[in-house]
Amino acid sequence: MVDKSQTPKIVVRVAEKGDVDKIIALSSKVFRNEAPYTRGMILGQMSAFAEGQFVVVYDGEVVGYAATMMLPERKALDQHTWNEVTGGGYAAMHDRRGEWLYGMEVCVDPDKRRLRIGKRLYDARRRLATDKHLKGIAFGGRMPGYKRNARKFASPEDYLEAVKRNDVKDPVATFHLNAGFEPVRLLKNYYPADADSGGYGVLMVWRNPYYDPERENQPVNRGNPDIVRVVTVQMEARTISRPQQFYDAVEYFVEVASEYGGDFVVFPELFTLMLLSCEPEELKPEAAIQRLTEHTPEFVERLTEMAIRRNINIIGGSHATKTEDGDIQNVGYAFLRDGSVHTREKIHPTPNEQTYWQIKGGEPLDVIETDCGPVGIMICYDSEFPEIGRRLADQGARILFVPFNTDTRHGYLRVRYCCQARAVENQCYVVTSGMTGNLGNVDNLDIEYAQSGIFTPCDFPFARDGIAAEASENVEMVTVADLNLATLSWARYEGSVKNLRDRRLDLYRIAWSDGG
């Protein structure tokens, strides 16, 4: 049988020493009025950073070459010249600890322009920057249209602004803009021999959408720092005869979540009201709050111990209690596996909470730093106010936890639809946890309706309906999903829409009383 497979005609690969003469010949063809690269320069580049030098081979001929190195942010993004930053073309300034991939050179055979060789080389650079978990790519780009248009503009800065507005098309700068690079500033005397560009360079930057600044600080108990496994508990309200039964039920779910490798386990709003079901008689609001307040120290101690022992972060629903300032608050808790405890008060108590329990709206509203990055807590009704999620997202939260407690399907759907809206508009994940069942002997907790879920933005890399996972309606169960933070970062920079980046801050903004 005849093998009809063929060797690919065009290949992008890492440059090898056997390519050196071909690269020199290519540079002679591209830079007709300048001295070509020398053999020593090419070998120096390969020696400094072998994996960063790429060639495009077409029918056995080298038709493209890209030279790169790694630089610290200060050197890559500050004012510099080509000669300084490249060490005279030898890549002598390469720093393996640098955060940025720096593009020294791109050569494309002028007779092979239609093969998209330049795009192939830039794509290879992007893959390298992503694989090495760098902040991005930087380089000094040319703007060869400047010389012939110089009389029309008061300064090179004005010319660059016109190119950015697409009023003028520059053969190189416009290509870089269309390729997704961001012009940061002009580099003065970047390459004096480039008369067409007036000696200027344009500092072009591509920011790696997968870069996570928290990655290097992740503890060893997380195998893949990009993946966060969340377990949301849809818990049934149960009548108990003693508090230990409540803690046994909570620990059961914490243990299950831990055995499934969860990073977070989430409980519903006001799930501690079950502690009132073991009282000899139904308590009125004032007495009920007092009794719940008496339970607070043990509640905090027990769940802190569970988080440490089971090595999992617990979003401890919420707990109605009288706080140190004497106000009655609906308080959300985060018990982290390092033993720290964080509280967040519900900002918007519902009309029922205000009139029946005398609960007041709290503060502050800030993210909680965890070993999986910053997270936010919005308690039930808070999710229905877009300002809350936006502030938490602006502070860096990529996962928002929403413990809720609703009595009817109408109430539940208000929370659900708003949580999905928060996921879309903030390009983040939203995890909800609700109560089901009923407690006939606890006043104001007569019936519960819930369908807990884990929601995502709506874009190609995510679940079709923006739902990573969801529970069955009104059934006690756990729901598990792995949330990819790298995919979220991609969506914020490269997605079909970029809600966070596309805000018209020239027209509107949210001003918080604390200056945020």
**Which residues are catalytically annotated?**
269, 346, 380
Find all residues with CB under 8 Å of 450, minimum gap 6, and list them. Answer: 234, 268, 404, 406, 412, 434, 435, 436, 471, 473, 474
Is residue 145 within 8 A of residue 171, CB to CB? The reply is yes
For residue 64, report the phi and psi dihedrals to the nearest 5 degrees.
Answer: -155, 145
Q: Quick one: three-class SS letters along 409-476?
A: HHHHHHHHHHHHHHHHHHCCEEEEEEEEECCCCCCCCCCEECCCEEECCCCCCCCCCCEEEECCCCCC
| CA pair distance 18, 351, nearest whole angstrom | 76
Give the CA dihedral 281, 283, 284, 288, nearest 10 degrees: 170
* Geometric angle at alpha carbon 81, from 76 and 86, rounded to 5°: 65
| CA pair distance 78, 100, nearest whole angstrom | 12
**How is residue 447 written in tokens?**
């019936």
Find all residues with CB under 8 Å of 318, minimum gap 6, and list them. Answer: 269, 270, 271, 272, 330, 331, 332, 333, 346, 379, 380, 403
Give the CA dihedral 160, 162, 165, 169, nearest 10 degrees: -90
**How is residue 175 written in tokens?**
């290509």
| CA pair distance 179, 191, nearest whole angstrom | 22
SS3 at position 298 = helix
* Per-position b or e across 108-119, b if 16+ CB within 10 A of its CB: bbeebeebebbe
| CA pair distance 330, 352, nearest whole angstrom | 12
SS3 at position 416 = helix
